[in-house]
């Protein structure tokens, strides 16, 4: 087999690996059934806004970690008992800290998280608009008579040979 | 170059220093977070809200004696290390020799918290590597583990004689962690009369 063919074969293998090798979901929502579809939606929303403590960039809804499954079961059990969203969040925060919330509450220590992006966009926007305005009020002025005279004098000094570059 | 431009080069307006100021502020912040606050801290570390709070109530069977139920009462009376471990956890093996040494040389009471494990596997593991624990709680389905905010093994809590959690270590304990992180906390609470 030619080298090119091998390369293509490798690429195809690699791509099929990327496209087809999706990990099987560790759980199904059927496992957490509710009679009331409203409660079911509440459950789905809740696990999507809680952070998995093991794999910190995943929500409880998407995580396949075993601890995440334990927490889903615990949340499910509490919802079956009739507990509401806030009660369950309080329970989890008391044990794992506010870390478990994707939406941190607004308080002094989280002020920067909440207002930081706004502050950055605001400052950037202000500077941008100010720069644009200044450009408008100070249009490029042309050369004065005096400058024009000086320019032609300089060009003449440079001689014929260089003139081609200045044209 | 005319005089005005020359002046401007020698005495830049204060406004030109703003980007430098922003750069220094960001650099300082990163330095603080990465080198001063962050040293020795695992990126996976989550501060526990349970510090200085009473240890959660529990009722778990003993690993060695399934008929016996152990409750929060077992924590009271002296400072103890509550060590979360499992036979499937490689880092638990790494710290095991150190735990054996701590129990032997320092006479600290170690309470095992066997977590998400299988009784047979756990007992075989202890037989093979040694048993540093005064008693062992058995929590195969993470009911009590959630109450303790456990999210991995090994984790180790320092619990004082009144049953108050004083420290939480996430990750294995080695000689250095013991000296700098665990021992000072134990010594602070050891002399307390219960």
The pLDDT assigned to A27 comes to 66
Say which of A66, A74, A98 has its CB closest to residue B146: A74
Tokens at residue A55, please? Answer: 């794999």
Residue A144, pLDDT score: 85
Strand pairing class (B155-159; B80-85): antiparallel
Q: Residues B69, B157: contact at Cβ < 8 Å?
A: no
- pLDDT for position B105: 92
A116: pLDDT strictly greater than 80:
yes
Size of interface A-B (CB pairs under 8 A): 37
Q: Do B142 and B115 form a contact (C-beta atoms < 8 A)?
A: yes
pLDDT at B9: 60
- In tens, the pLDDT along B48-65 reads 889 999 999 999 999 999
Q: Which residues of B touch A56 (CB under 8 A)?
A: 44
Quote the CA–CA distance of B84 and B127 in Å, as a whole number: 18
pTM of this prediction exceeds 0.90: no
Q: Residue range A127-141: average pLDDT? A: 81
- pLDDT value of residue A81: 92
CB-based contact B189:B158 (threshold 8 Å): yes
pLDDT computed for residue A23 by the predictor: 45
Instruction: Decide the pairing of beta strands B109-115 and B80-85.
Output: parallel
Mind telling me how many Å the CA of B148 is from chain A's nearest CA? 6
Q: B156 — phi, psi (to 5°)?
A: -135, 130
Contacts of A48 (CB under 8 A, 6+ apart): A59, A60, A61, A62
Distance from A2 to chain B by nearest Cα, in Å? 45
Give the Cβ contact number of residue B89 at 10 Å. Answer: 19
Spans of all domains in chain B = 3-37, 59-190
Lowest-pLDDT range, A33-47, B62-76, B133-147, B149-163?
Answer: A33-47
Rounded to the nearest 10°, the torsion over CA B41, B86, B64, B130 is -80
- pLDDT for A63: 86
Pick from B141, B142, B149: CB nearest A96: B149
Q: Which of A69, A70, A130 to mutate to test the interface with B (most CBs of B within 10 A)?
A: A70
ipTM of the shown complex? 0.75
Chain B residue with Cα closest to A77: B143
CATH for the B59-190 domain, from 3.40.50.1460, 1.20.140.10, 3.40.30.10, 3.40.50.300? 3.40.30.10
Which stretches of B96-162 are assigned E, i.e. beta strand?
109-115, 135-139, 155-159
Query: What pLDDT does residue B142 have?
Result: 93
B14 vs A117, A131, B19, B20, CA distance in Å?
Answer: 26, 18, 10, 11
- CA angle, A9 as apex, A8 and A10 as ends, to 5°? 90
On whether any CB of chain A is under 8 Å from the CB of B90, the answer is no
| Burial environment of residue A68 by CB neighbours within 10 A (0 to 12, 13 to 18, 19 or more) | buried
pLDDT band at A58 (very low <50, low <70, confident <90, very high): confident
| pLDDT at B7 exceeding the cut of 70 | no
Give the pLDDT band of residue A167 (cuts 50, 70, 90). Answer: very low
The answer to whether the peptide bond before residue A134 is cis (omega within 30 degrees of 0) is: no
> Class of A26-103 per CATH?
mainly alpha
By CA distance, what is A72's nearest residue in B? B146
Which element (helix H / strand E) includes B66? none
Residue in chain A closest to B170 (alpha carbons) equals A54
pLDDT at position A22, please?
45
> Per residue in A32-47, pLDDT tens?
888 888 889 999 999 9
Q: Per the structure block, which two tokens stand in for A99?
A: 């870390």
DSSP B163-183: SBEEEEEES---HHHIIIIIH
| Chain A positions in Cβ-Cβ contact with residue B50 (cut-off 8 Å) | 95
Cα radius of gyration (chain A): 32
What single DSSP character describes residue A101? B
| A166: pLDDT strictly greater than 60 | no
- Residue B178: band (very low, low, confident or very high) from pLDDT cuts 50, 70, 90: very high
Report the phi/psi class of residue B83: left, alpha or beta, with left for phi > 0 and alpha for psi in -120 to 50. beta
Q: How many CB atoms lie within 10 A of CB A91?
A: 16
pLDDT band at A24 (very low <50, low <70, confident <90, very high): very low
Least confident of A52-66, A83-97, B18-32, B114-128: A52-66
Confidence at residue A86, expressed as pLDDT on a 0 to 100 scale: 92
Average pLDDT over residues A8-32: 59
List chain A domain ranges.
26-103, 107-137
Q: Which residue would you say has higher pLDDT here, A142 or A160?
A: A142
Angle formed by the axes of helices A37-48 and A66-80, to 10°?
Answer: 140
């Amino acid at each position: 087999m030619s080298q090119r063919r091998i390369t293509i074969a490798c690429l195809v293998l690699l791509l099929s690996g990327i496209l087809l090798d999706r990990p099987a979901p560790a759980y199904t929502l059927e496992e957490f059934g509710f009679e009331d579809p409203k409660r079911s939606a509440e459950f789905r929303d809740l696990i999507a806004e809680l952070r998995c403590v093991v794999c910190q960039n995943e929500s409880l809804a998407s995580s396949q970690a075993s601890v995440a499954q334990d927490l889903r079961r615990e949340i499910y059990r509490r919802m079956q008992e009739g507990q509401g969203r806030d009660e369950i969040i309080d329970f989890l925060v008391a044990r794992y800290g506010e870390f478990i919330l994707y939406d941190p509450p607004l308080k002094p220590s989280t002020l920067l998280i909440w207002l930081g992006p706004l502050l950055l966009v605001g400052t950037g926007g202000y500077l941008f608009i100010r720069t644009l305005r200044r450009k408008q009020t100070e249009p490029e002025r042309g050369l004065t008579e005096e400058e024009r005279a000086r320019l032609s004098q300089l060009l003449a000094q440079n001689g014929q040979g260089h003139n081609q570059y200045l044209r | 170059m005319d005089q005005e431009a020359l002046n401007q080069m020698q005495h830049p307006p204060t406004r030109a220093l703003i980007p430098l100021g922003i750069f220094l502020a960001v650099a300082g912040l990163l330095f603080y977070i990465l080198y001063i606050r962050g040293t020795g801290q695992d990126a996976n570390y989550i501060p526990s809200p349970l510090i200085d709070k009473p240890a959660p109530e529990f009722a778990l069977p003993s690993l060695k004696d399934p008929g016996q139920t152990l409750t929060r009462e077992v924590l009271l009376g002296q400072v103890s290390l509550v060590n979360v471990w499992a036979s499937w956890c490689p880092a638990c093996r790494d710290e095991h020799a150190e735990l054996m040494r701590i129990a032997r040389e320092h006479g600290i009471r170690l309470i095992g918290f066997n977590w998400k494990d299988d009784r047979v596997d756990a007992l075989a593991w202890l037989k093979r590597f040694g048993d540093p624990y005064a008693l062992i709680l058995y929590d195969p389905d993470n009911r009590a583990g959630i109450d303790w905010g456990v999210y991995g093994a090994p984790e180790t809590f320092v619990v004082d004689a009144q049953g108050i959690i004083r420290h939480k270590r996430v990750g294995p304990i080695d000689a250095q962690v013991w000296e700098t992180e665990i021992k000072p906390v134990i010594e602070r609470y050891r002399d307390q009369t219960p």
